[in-house]
Amino acid sequence: MAKRTPTPGEKIAQEIYETYKPTTVEEMQSALKSVFGPLFEAALKGELDNNLGYPKNGSTPEDSKNTRNGYSRKNLKASMGTVPIQVPRDREGTFEPQLIQKYQRDVSSIEGKVLAMYGRGMSQRDISSTIEEIYGFSISHEQIAHITDRILDEVYAWQNRPLFPFYTFLFIDCLYVPMKTDRALKQKAV
């Protein structure tokens, strides 16, 4: 029997576990937050390289005077809490990041959109292709499975909750009519 080669995700997970040695859920969340920030920072640095036309420590093209100009701090709201990142800047201010746009602070919304599509009955592969069509980046169906697996216990509990024998509904409706009061004509609900 051939030995199975671990996937890149499994290698990363093992390295995170060996580095941080989490023993509680809170420690695991903290470890993930410490990895999440550098992952976004690396993607933003790649976007800046593309914008400038040369990599960091590479030679500047002769027709460009634009160079790197340090970093600015930004706190991102993710599903695991607030994650601080460093966003690279360019000297001329022409860098418009696409992954995390200039005034965007919340990156947890993509998870909500995936869950909403899953709740409407879309398959994981359909969700993956829809995200790619709309947002221009891809999420593997395995990543979508990880997102949707987080809520399966809650969905199961909701589907199997005890129901009451009957439910009472009360409908209230009104009509707004102009009525004369002491000194003014006012709209009143009747």
When pLDDT is averaged across residues 114-124 and rounded to a whole number, the result is 72
Coil, helix or strand at residue 180: strand
Residue 190 DSSP label: -
- Tell me the pLDDT tens digit for each residue of 144-164: 776 666 666 766 777 788 888
Q: What is the pLDDT of residue 136?
A: 60
pTM: 0.54
Concatenated DSSP letters for 95-108? ---SSS-TT--B--
Q: What is the pLDDT of residue 148?
A: 67
pLDDT at 95 over 80: yes
Task: Say which amino acid occupies 45.
Answer: K
When pLDDT is averaged across residues 18-41 and rounded to a whole number, the result is 80
Could you tell me the residue ranges of all domains in the chain?
8-56+68-107, 108-160
Residue 58 DSSP label: S
**Higher per-residue pLDDT: 68 or 132:** 68
Concatenated DSSP letters for 116-175? HHHHTT--HHHHHHHHHHHHSS---HHHHHHHHHTTHHHHHHHHTPPPPS----------
Give the separation between CA 131 and CA 104, rounded to whole angstroms: 18
Neighbours of 36 (CB within 10 A): 18
pLDDT at 1 over 70: no
Mean pLDDT (the chain) is 78
Q: What is the pLDDT of residue 73?
A: 92
